[in-house]
Amino acid sequence: MSATAPIPASIDADRVASLTEHMRTVYRERTARSGEYFERASGVMPGGVPSQFQKNDPWPVYIERGTGAQVWDVDGNEYLDFHNGFGVMCVGHANPTIAAAVKARMDEGTHFAAPTEGSITVAEELRRRWGLPQWRFTNSGTESTMDAIHLARGFTGRELIVKIEGTYHGHHDAVMVSVKPPPALMGDRSRPTSIPYGLGYPANTPDLTRVVPFNDADALSSLLEELRGQVAGVILEPAMMNINIVPPVDGYLERVRELTRDHGAVLIFDEVKTGAAVAAGGATELFGVTPDVVCLAKAICGGLPGGAVGMTDELGALVASGQVRQQGTFNGNPLVMAAAEATLLEVLTDEGYAKLHKLNEDLMAGCDRIISEYKLPAHTVGMGSKGCVVFSSEPIREYRDYLTKIHHDLTNLAWLYHMNNGIFMTPGEDEEWTLSVLHTDADLKRYLEVFEMFARDVTSAA
């Protein structure tokens, strides 16, 4: 199984290769100062970055500042930001409402490791949005999904976890399995092999985390049957968001809900990416299926590092009694709570969502027009504030489709076009754009101009 679809005959592969080479040179020249920062950073940080996801070839763009929908890098290049901090900044950069809330909190003390009213207010709002009664706070998506796994195991007294092939849920042991499994190792589709993502995990980690394809409830049903009485929980993103965007097919989430209930397994929705970004109540609201545990982070805290775990009353009782340990020095930190409160109550309001949804629909429609006019082998997928151009003529339903049906060379070239023309996008080929309430129609127009420039160049005769 090859790990990319070949460029279709309608597009000249040599042209794509030479444009890519050219665009790489332009990137290097435009971001020379970032290259110097990278040299310096590599002396003190492995790979020159604080987090592996910030790494990209030949070096990352080092950012100086941002305001609204704009960011500036250390070379002085100005970008419109469609990366938006991996989907965190739906509120926009330096949003004055968030800034005022955080500054006010700053003057009243930023950390006590004792509860403040902010945490109650935010938990109440999350309960209203997601319909789950009990909430605790974390500092990241990784912590949220780690706590969710502990809850599932603690509640059921079982050890096995089932996850979806090709999903990322953070970097703790239980979920660092079959995140991006190499084609040669992943085994049969109906019963994929569990493959650790990197080194550093106990040898039995893959035995404890089993894998099924997304959008295939029958595969999940047969695995749960085979492991009857052993599965503590099933964790999934209701819409996959780390291999572009892969929405659930009709009826899939409903069947996953039924199956987990029938098998006494805890259903965990990882809404770290979808939560508060695709609708007020995230994918839970959008698709109308409520899990036992929901994991949040990213967009809910308006740019400060925080997360949350929502749970049923039964699960909450285990946390309250301390049988399942959910804790952390910075959980519910007042500064983070001030940002979350302003984000959820003042910025990402009904009006805010209406704006995000309209902008997203317009951007997708603009991309669709260009795709059709230039006959690109691509389509758009999106929801809420998020969307992407998927360089495949066929729909992508699971990780193996992503491997075999997407023209990754085109995805990478589109990314270079965006970056070299002032559109800041997520590095690499797996992500999507995220809009903020501070994006404007003019920002979308510029995005579309650059996308059209790319479309014209790759499809025009040499």
Q: Which residues bind ligand PLP (CB under 6 A)?
A: 86, 140-142, 145, 168-170, 237, 242, 270, 272-273, 297
Q: Residue 29: which residues within 8 A CB-CB, separation 6 or more?
A: none
Q: Which residue is nearest to ligand PLP (CB)?
A: 141
Nearest to 444 by CA among 358, 347, 348, 350: 358
Sheet containing 63-67, strands listed edge to edge, beginning at the edge strand earlier in sequence: 63-67, 70-73, 78-81, 423-424
Q: State the minimum distance, in angstroms, from the CB of residue 168 to ligand PLP.
A: 5
The answer to whether 112 and 298 are in contact (CB under 8 A) is: no
The answer to whether 252 and 215 are in contact (CB under 8 A) is: yes
Q: State the minimum distance, in angstroms, from the CB of residue 68 to ligand PLP.
A: 24
- Pick the catalytic residue: 73, 216, 270, 443? 270
298 is catalytic: yes
User: Rounded to an integer, what distance in angstroms lies between the CA atom of residue 125 and that of residue 291?
Assistant: 18
Sheet containing 379-383, strands listed edge to edge, beginning at the edge strand earlier in sequence: 379-383, 386-390, 433-434
- Pick the catalytic residue: 168, 374, 399, 402? 168
Q: State the minimum distance, in angstroms, from the CB of residue 147 to ligand PLP.
A: 12
Nearer Cβ to ligand PLP, position 270 or 409? 270
Nearer Cβ to ligand PLP, position 109 or 200? 200
Nearer Cβ to ligand PLP, position 81 or 143? 143
User: Rounded to an integer, what distance in angstroms lies between the CA atom of residue 370 and that of residue 23?
Assistant: 21
What torsion do the CA atoms of 319, 324, 330, 336 make, to the nearest 10 degrees?
Answer: -50
- Pick the catalytic residue: 180, 273, 298, 405? 298
Q: State the minimum distance, in angstroms, from the CB of residue 232 to ligand PLP.
A: 18
375 is catalytic: no
User: Rounded to an integer, what distance in angstroms lies between the CA atom of residue 38 and that of residue 48?
Assistant: 5
Q: State the minimum distance, in angstroms, from the CB of residue 252 to ligand PLP.
A: 17
Nearer Cβ to ligand PLP, position 266 or 455? 266
For residue 130 the two structure tokens come to 């997601």
168 is catalytic: yes
Nearer Cβ to ligand PLP, position 252 or 451? 252
What residues are labeled active site? 168, 270, 298
